[in-house]
């Protein structure tokens, strides 16, 4: 499971949610570096959120279309409703009551026009359970979003939904989960070695 490449709104720290923002030049380079990182994986299927930032990243990973990219709306980021397109500070100023509710991390608080953390969590974890159920064996790739990956991390490690995140979530980081005998296992989290290599090339 990988997060999409850097977008313009990522650099501006805006809530993207179900809206979209194009990949930056850095985001495109991250996708190309990720393609090299994943070249040794024998993939049986590629799934992607249907949002353009994820699909564009998936296309960079598999530029020759060796596998069809299967888009899935369930792999979208959380719907942030009235917060979408705004920075956290803009949300605080425009919607102070909703900001406080959101910051409380109440998993059942529904952002106006959006979805609650619990609704989002159920959508994505159920989607992954269904996707692995399609495969008897092998490796599949899912290109998705930071919030989706956080959901899966909490699900597999049995972390309370309302717990604050205390780990980084880099664009195009590689996160490997295994599923066997009805049980998930986290194998690798936040692998960004391909980004280190990319930064080294930039310095030459």
pLDDT of residue 151: 97
**Active-site residue 194, yes or no?**
no
Please identify which of the residues 6, 77, 98, 115 carries the catalytic annotation. 77
pLDDT of residue 103: 94
Contacts 24+ apart (CB under 8 A), 131-137: 131/47, 131/72, 132/179, 134/45, 135/44, 135/45
Burial of 37 (0-12, 13-18, 19+ CB in 10 A): buried
Average pLDDT over residues 137-148: 96
Of the candidate ranges 60-74, 158-172, 177-191, the one whose mean pLDDT is the lowest: 60-74
Question: CA–CA separation, 32 vs 120, rounded Å?
Answer: 29
The CATH number of the domain holding residue 161 is: 3.40.50.1240
3-state secondary structure of 7: strand
Please identify which of the residues 4, 15, 145, 155 carries the catalytic annotation. 4
Query: Quick count: other Cβ atoms within 10 Å of Cβ 9?
Result: 20
In the structure encoding, which two tokens stand for residue 115, read together? 């979805």
**Active-site residue 77, yes or no?**
yes
Question: CA–CA separation, 200 vs 55, rounded Å?
Answer: 27
Q: Shortest CA distance to 75 belongs to which of 146, 14, 26, 140?
A: 146
User: Domain range for residue 18?
Assistant: 2-203
Report the mean per-residue pLDDT for the chain: 93
Instruction: For residue range 49-100, list pLDDT tens digits in order.
Output: 999 999 999 999 887 668 899 999 999 999 999 999 999 999 999 999 999 9
Instruction: For residue range 99-127, list pLDDT tens digits in order.
Output: 999 999 999 999 999 999 999 999 999 99
pTM equals 0.93
Total domains present in the chain: 1
């Amino acid at each position: 499971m990988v997060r999409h490449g850097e977008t313009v709104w990522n650099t501006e720290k805006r809530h993207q949610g179900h809206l979209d923002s194009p990949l930056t030049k850095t985001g495109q380079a991250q996708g190309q570096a990720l393609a090299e990182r994943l070249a040794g994986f024998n993939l049986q299927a590629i799934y992607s959120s249907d949002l353009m930032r994820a699909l564009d990243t998936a296309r960079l990973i598999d530029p020759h279309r060796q596998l069809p990219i299967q888009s899935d709306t369930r792999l979208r980021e959380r719907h942030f409703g009235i917060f979408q397109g705004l920075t956290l500070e803009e949300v605080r100023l425009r919607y102070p009551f909703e900001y406080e509710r959101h910051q409380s991390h109440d998993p059942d608080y529904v952002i106006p026009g959006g979805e609650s953390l619990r609704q989002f969590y159920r959508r994505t974890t159920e989607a992954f359970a269904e996707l692995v159920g399609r495969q008897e064996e092998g490796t599949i790739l899912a290109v998705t979003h930071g919030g989706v990956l956080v959901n899966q991390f909490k699900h597999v490690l049995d972390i309370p939904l309302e717990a604050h995140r205390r780990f980084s979530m880099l664009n195009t980081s590689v996160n490997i989960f295994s599923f066997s005998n009805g049980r998930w296992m986290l194998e690798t989290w936040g692998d960004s070695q391909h980004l280190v290599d990319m930064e080294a090339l930039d310095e030459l």
